[in-house]
A and B are shown apart, each in its own frame.
Chain A
Amino acid sequence: MTEALIVRGLDKTFTKPAVMDLDLTVHAGELYALLGPNGAGKTTTLRMVAGLTKPDKGEISIFGIDARADPAAAKAITAWAPDEAMVYDRLTPLEYLEFVAGLWNIEPKAAKARAEALLAKLGLAAEARTRCEGFSRGMKQKVALAGALIHDPRLLILDEPLTGLDAAAARLVKDMLQDRVRAGGAVILTTHILEVAERMADRIGIIAGGRLLAEGTLDALRARAGEGPKGEGWGGSTLEDVFLQLTATDAGAAA
Chain B
Amino acid sequence: MRLAAPGSIPWLLAHEMRIAWRNYRAGRAGKGARGLISLIVVGAMMLGGGVLAALGLREVEVPIHPISISIAALATLVVFTLMLSQTLSASSEALYERGDLDLLFSSPIGPAKVLFVRCLGVAGGVITIFLLGVTPLLLPSVIWGHPGWIGVFGVLGALALASTAVGLLLAMALFALIGPRRTRTVAQVMAALVGAGFFLVSQARVILGEQKSDSLFAEITRQAMEGRLHPAPIVSLPLRAMLGEPLPLTALLAGSAGLFALAALTLGRRFSDAAAATQGKTAARPARASRGQARRAFAAGPFLATLRKELLLIARDASLLSQVLLRVLYLIPVALVLSRNAADGTGTALASGAGVVAFLAGQVAGSLAWITLSAEETPDLLAVSPARTRTLRRAKLAAALIPVALILVAPIAALTWFMPAAGLWTALGAALAAWSSGLINIWHQRPGKRSDFKRRGGSSWMATIAEMVVSALLAGATGIAVAGFWPWSLIPLGLAGAALLSLRRSDAQIARNLRTR
Residues of A within 8 A of B (CB): 50-52, 54, 72-73, 75-76, 78-80, 82, 86-92, 94-95, 98-105, 107-109, 111-112, 115, 129-135, 147
Contacts and interface: CB of A to CB of B under 8 A. Distances in A.
A98 B378 contact: no
B283 to A, nearest CB: 3
Nearest to A157: B384
B380 interface: yes
Contact of B309 (A80, A86, A91, A115): A91
The 4 A-B pairs at the shortest CB distance, nearest first, are namely: A102-B305, A134-B283, A134-B280, A103-B385
Nearest to A72: B386
Interface in B284-335: 284-287, 290, 293-294, 297-306, 308-309, 312-313, 316-317
B406 interface: no
20 contacts: A50-B384, A51-B383, A52-B380, A72-B386, A75-B386, A78-B384, A79-B384, A87-B378, A89-B377, A92-B290, A95-B309, A98-B308, A99-B305, A101-B305, A102-B301, A102-B306, A103-B302, A108-B298, A134-B284, A135-B283
Between B287, B297, B377, the greatest number of chain A beta carbons within 10 A of the residue's beta carbon is seen for B287
B378 to A, nearest CB: 4
Interface in B378-433: 378, 380-388
Given A104-B386, A131-B287, A112 B298 contact: yes
B15 interface: no
A158 B245 CA distance: 69
A73 B297 contact: no
A132 B286 CA distance: 10
A90 B316 contact: yes
A105 B293 contact: no
Contacts of A100: 305, 381, 385
B107 interface: no
A82 B313 CA distance: 22
A101 B298 contact: yes
Nearest to A105: B301
B215 interface: no
A1 to B, nearest CB: 26
Interface string B112-141: 000000000000000000000000000000
A94 to B, nearest CB: 7
A99 B306 contact: yes
A134 B282 contact: yes
B388 A72 contact: yes
B303 to A, nearest CB: 8
A78 B385 CA distance: 8
B284 A130 contact: yes
Contacts of A107: 300
A75 B381 CA distance: 11
Contacts of B301: 102, 105
B23 interface: no
Given A51-B384, A134-B280, A134-B282, A105 B302 contact: yes
B306 A103 contact: yes
A99 B299 CA distance: 8
Nearest to B314: A90
B286 A130 contact: yes
A91 to B, nearest CB: 6
Contacts of A92: 286-287, 290, 293
A82 B380 contact: yes
Nearest to A139: B283
Nearest to B515: A54
Interface string B254-284: 0000000000000000000000000111111
A195 B298 CA distance: 40
Nearest to A76: B386
Interface string B466-493: 0000000000000000000000000000
A54 B299 CA distance: 31
Nearest to A109: B297
Between B281, B286, B312, B385, the greatest number of chain A beta carbons within 10 A of the residue's beta carbon is seen for B385
Given A102-B306, A111-B298, A134-B279, 7 more contacts: A51-B383, A51-B384, A82-B380, A86-B381, A103-B382, A129-B290, A133-B280
Nearest to A102: B305
A52 B383 contact: yes
Nearest to A108: B298
Contacts of B312: 90-91, 95
Nearest to B96: A133
Contact of A86 (B285, B316, B380): B380
Interface in B4-43: none
Contacts of A101: 298, 305
Given A86-B378, A99-B305, A112-B298, A105 B282 contact: no
A92 B294 CA distance: 12
A196 B96 CA distance: 37
A91 B313 contact: yes
B273 to A, nearest CB: 17
A56 B504 CA distance: 29
A245 to B, nearest CB: 34
Interface string B226-265: 0000000000000000000000000000000000000000
A101 B284 CA distance: 25
A105 B306 CA distance: 11
Interface string B75-96: 0000000000000000000000
B380 A88 contact: no
Contacts of B387: 102-105
A99 B309 contact: yes
A102 B279 contact: no
Contacts of A76: 386
A190 to B, nearest CB: 15
A139 B317 CA distance: 22
Contact of A105 (B294, B313, B377, B386): B386
A89 B301 CA distance: 22
B170 to A, nearest CB: 24
A90 B306 contact: no
B384 A95 contact: no
A95 B385 contact: no
B382 A129 contact: no
Contacts of A88: 309, 313, 377-378
